[in-house]
Amino acid sequence: MTFTNPVIAGMHPDPSVCRVGDDYYLACSSFEYFPGVPIFHSRDLVNWEQIGNALDRPGQLAMPPGTPSSGGVYAPTLRHHDGRFWLITTNVAPGGGSMILTADDARGPWSDPIPVPGIGIDPDLAWDDDGNCWCTYAGISQIRLDPTSGRTLDGPHRLWSGGPHAQAPEAPHLYRIGDHWYLLIAEGGTERGHAVSIARATSPNGPFEPCPANPILTHRGSNRPIQNTGHADLVQGPDGSWWMVLLAVRPGGGTPGWHVLGRETFLVPVTWTDGWPVPGDLTLEMTAPWPVKPPAPPRARDDFDDAELHPRWISVRSRPAGSWSTTDRPGWLALHARGPSLDNPGVTFIGRRQQHPSCRVRVLLDPGAGRGGLAVRLDERHHYELEAGDGIVRVTARLGSVLHTATTRPLPAGPVRLRIDVIAAAEGHWHPTQGPDELNLGIETPDGTFQTLAQLDGRYLSTEVAGGFTGRVIGMFATTGTVLFDWFDYEPIR
């Protein structure tokens, strides 16, 4: 059966996967967004449904305003051991650090964090037959850990750090497979030089013998449409075959190639030769040797009829209870302003990851006496927004140190439909300076007519321009007073 990569599109990097019977569970990084660490479930490794977030209570995750964009929650490892789910991750924020959470059900509730002091990012958990818990982290170093208390019992010890002079050895995962312990890592940095390498030993703490074919997977220096391949995790498929989930990007446009959706989760088959894993060809169209049901079409509209928000909705650093409501006006999402603009790290914002190169996003908004609207956000210094209020609608672009008002338009009082169309650059018309996409921002009339107010170049909302580790998030915001949203539509265009 064929399937399409990425299997989890949009900003879902650093995937970690575990199998429990016939079920698969996967966790990803979430950076400065709350709730943190999205949790997914699948029965076939291909079709994934988000079932929650591990860090969904303010008491579990503190990201104060001083937390930088692309700070926050990095690279979780998700494992199932002794009847429980275990998750270890790092909050790269003032007062943060590494932590362990547990749950009987991956849907939650997850426990309060257990601090694990003194270790680096990208921590991994593995247990040996004697019950020892080994925590391996970026560097690559390892400690023996009491996972119930977070206390170090032995170490740290240096293990193996990839190829000679390799940049950024990170993302370790340790496995017992057959007679060997395998140490899978990423190296080369998470940009175009990203790669997957592996070593093995007869003991979980080495000494490790590197695979002679390292790196076992990389697309660096190639013209493939999938780039930045790395940060992988091994798992067995429903038929017992081996597979690997990993992060990668889909750059677009001319030179240097801009990726705007962030780092996404891909799936690639693995075979074994002479006791070493050999990843297959990683492409956009793949074949699975087991039945894969066509994915159910996602629901385009959220009417905000439920008391709680779907776990896909994320906010910047926090989401205080007083900043939003679905009961102030039943069937509407009310946002109460906390900051004057999207430049502010505490702005009231609720959005979702952009998951398709071309998509259409619409909202029905009643600004009342407030101001707010629809925005495409990469970070505080890179965002586009449509803002309605005070009788006008305004298109604004924040490009680093430049704040530009592209246009304003008078508006009558009452609800208004705001719309953003993201149109990816056409294939087959490459030009060295062509951007990855174009964003058309405007108003939609009740009969569906789109009145474009501004056309903005998408390259400025890309990682190659802004830096960092995240991708675009499209959502609703309030900058003054209370703003009400009746519904939010997200639809892929192609």
For residue 346 the two structure tokens come to: 């505490």
Asked about 14 being catalytic, the answer comes back as: yes
Q: Which candidate, 188, 184, 148, places its Cα nearest to that of 167?
A: 188
CA angle 419, 422, 424 (to 5 degrees): 165
Strand, helix or coil for residue 265: strand
Q: How many CA atoms lie within 13 A of 61 on its CB side?
A: 31
- Taking the C-alpha atoms of residue 372 and residue 61, their distance in angstroms, rounded to an integer, is 27
Catalytic residue among 44, 56, 170, 421: 170
**Largest Cα–Cα separation, the chain:** 73
- Taking the C-alpha atoms of residue 142 and residue 148, their distance in angstroms, rounded to an integer, is 17
Q: Which candidate, 263, 224, 217, places its Cα nearest to that of 244?
A: 217
Q: Which candidate, 375, 361, 397, places its Cα nearest to that of 475?
A: 375
Strands 180-187 and 482-492: unpaired
For residue 135 the two structure tokens come to: 């925590």
Catalytic residue among 14, 187, 387, 421: 14
Asked about 444 being catalytic, the answer comes back as: no
- Taking the C-alpha atoms of residue 116 and residue 373, their distance in angstroms, rounded to an integer, is 40
Q: Which candidate, 93, 82, 90, 94, places its Cα nearest to that of 117?
A: 90
Residues 6+ apart with CB under 8 A from 397: 383, 384, 403, 404, 406, 454, 456, 460
Residues 6+ apart with CB under 8 A from 409: 392, 393, 394, 443, 453
Query: For residue 433, how many other CB atoms are within 10 A of its CB?
Result: 8
Active site residues: 14, 170
